[in-house]
Amino acid sequence: MTNAIGRQLVDFIVPGSRIFVPGATGEPEGLLAQMALVPELSAGTTYVQFPIGGLNTTNFSAWHRDARVEAFFMSPALRSGFAEGRVDFLPMHMRRVYDHIGNGPMFDVVLVQAARDAEGVLRHTFNLDFLPAALGNTRSIVVQENPEIKPPSGAPAIDEAGLALILEVSSPIRELQPAPLDRAAEAIGALVAELIPDGACIQTGIGAIPQAILAALSEHNDLGMHGGLIDDAGLALIHRGVITGRVNESIRGCILLGLQWAPARSIKRSQMRPALYLSPQITRMRWG
């Protein structure tokens, strides 16, 4: 074993471990890259993740012949492992995924990406969707402290006393580029935007149609956003002063989200927005 980080991880990851890996922009990419260099860490290990195609591209089942994956979404990266019978696809409602992660078999390790703010406080970064459920159902927590990024100003702090290991590993922000818009998407976006009044609180998904709707809202006023995620189009409305949360009754002046993804330039701009809060409540409440 030649990898110093791998030597530290070997004390916490033993053959047969069950490991939760955050997906989307919360994936601790630098830590995973180091783990991949130590195949014995994955002997008999099961990795659990909610991967997003095009964003999360690690096939954990390829790390060792006895490694397995439990995935709630399928992605191109998992295709070969699925064909070989080493990827278990668990399709279920996102609200049920949260319960499954929090109440299912206990994890031996939860991996977390974190970063320090200007005051030196260790905080979560860009994805809290299912992570709190996993953190409440694990024996140990291993953190990648990423000096290359700064956490969103509204990200929760992490209690360092409860961590098994903090490893400083640099890796870039995980990016998702906007989908291209065609005329049909733009036409749909314009029609939907006409139905949304000033002051409305909105929630959107990902893809060309949601992006087109958000783009068509550029002249609206004082919109709120209370949803599972925000992407480049939503961040653009914040910067333009369209999404303010000013008339939201429950979280006045705040934008409450579970996940943030966008090109790196937009994420870096949003780090200075104190009204943008990441909260796991979104995933728990979204579907009752």
Structure tokens at 95: 């609200």
Taking domain 4-168, whether its CATH number is 3.40.1080.10 is answered by yes
Taking only the tens place, the pLDDT of each residue in 171-224 is 887 776 777 899 999 999 999 999 999 999 888 887 899 999 999 999 999 998
49 near 23, Cβ under 8 Å? yes
Alpha helices by DSSP H, listed for 16-78, are 29-36
Closest CA to 20 of 122, 128, 123, 141: 141
CATH of domain 183-285: 3.30.750.70
What is the distance of C-alpha 124 from the center of its chain? Answer: 10
Give the model's pLDDT for residue 269.
56
Domain ranges of the chain: 4-168, 183-285
Residue among 202, 200, 173 at smallest CA distance from 270: 173
Lookup: tokens for 100: 């499954």
The more confident residue out of 111 and 266 is: 111
Altogether, the residues listed in the chain come to a count of 288
Q: What percent of the chain has pLDDT over 70?
A: 84
For residue 9, give both structure tokens.
């991880």
CB 55 within 8 A of CB 174: yes
Interatomic CA distance for residues 1 and 11, integer angstroms: 13
| Pair 87, 78: CB distance under 8 Å | yes
pLDDT-above-90 percentage for the chain = 51
- The model's pTM: 0.84
pLDDT, average across residues 149-171: 89
Read off the pLDDT of each residue in 247-276 and give the average, rounded to a whole number.
Answer: 59
In which residue are the tokens 């189009």 written?
233
Quote the pLDDT of residue 247: 78
Reported as a single tens digit per residue, the pLDDT across 40-75 is 899 999 999 999 877 889 999 999 999 999 999 998
Tens digits of residue pLDDT in 102-158: 999 999 999 999 999 889 999 998 888 899 899 999 999 999 999 988 887 678 899
Half-sphere CA count of 87, side-chain side, radius 13 A: 25
